[in-house]
Amino acid sequence: MQVTFYLLQQQSSQAVKSFVCKLTEKAWTSGMKVHIHTDNQIQSETYDRLLWEWREDSFIPHEIKKQNNNDDQNSISTPVTISHINPGKPEENTLLINMARKIPAFYRDFDRTCEVVDKSPGPVEILREKFKAYQKDGIKPEAHDIAAGKRL
């Protein structure tokens, strides 16, 4: 289990959203399944729109996961899902991008978890609490400072 914190030097929610799109695209093109976990439906719809608009020359296949079940309509796995609910047990080679304020109980179901935050006072405090919570759960998170415009 690997947990990585990305601390963006820019203090902007737009920089965070852009970085999440970049991280999602990189993970998907390297063959990973990605789930972006959010706090609510509105935030899920925001990331859905951002992934549609991300780049004109790129398409990231994604969907908002509305329910957790295993019926026939969910048998085809979309490479990128977005939701504020538990997406269910994922396949192998999976990445959870946690954009929710709290760590989801199901994070250990994923191979890797990423947390993305800017250096604004509120988000930094949330990051510190999450970092401590992961440590308390026996995880040794990595932390990376990301300068503006730096490639992944």
Please give the pLDDT value at position 53. 87
CATH number of 2-68+76-146: 3.40.50.10110
Which amino acid is residue 28, in one-letter code? W
Q: How far apart are CA 130 and CA 128, in angstroms?
A: 5
Q: How far apart are CA 144 and CA 152, in angstroms?
A: 11
Distance of CA 94 to the CA centre of its chain: 11
Annotated domain spans of the chain? 2-68+76-146
Which tens digits make up the pLDDT trace of 91-131? 788 999 999 999 999 999 999 999 998 888 888 888 899 99
Distance of CA 149 to the CA centre of its chain: 19
DSSP state letters, 40-73? SHHHHHHHHHHHHHS-TT----EEE------SGG
Q: How far apart are CA 89 and CA 77, in angstroms?
A: 12
Please give the pLDDT value at position 76. 45
pLDDT at 151 over 80: no
Which tens digits make up the pLDDT trace of 2-34? 999 999 988 788 889 999 999 999 999 999 999
pLDDT at 69 over 60: no
Model-wide pTM > 0.85: yes
Residues 6+ apart with CB under 8 A from 90: 33, 35, 109, 110
CB 152 within 8 A of CB 23: yes
* Rounded average pLDDT over 29-54: 94
Residues 6+ apart with CB under 8 A from 118: 7, 8, 9, 10, 11, 12, 13, 15, 16
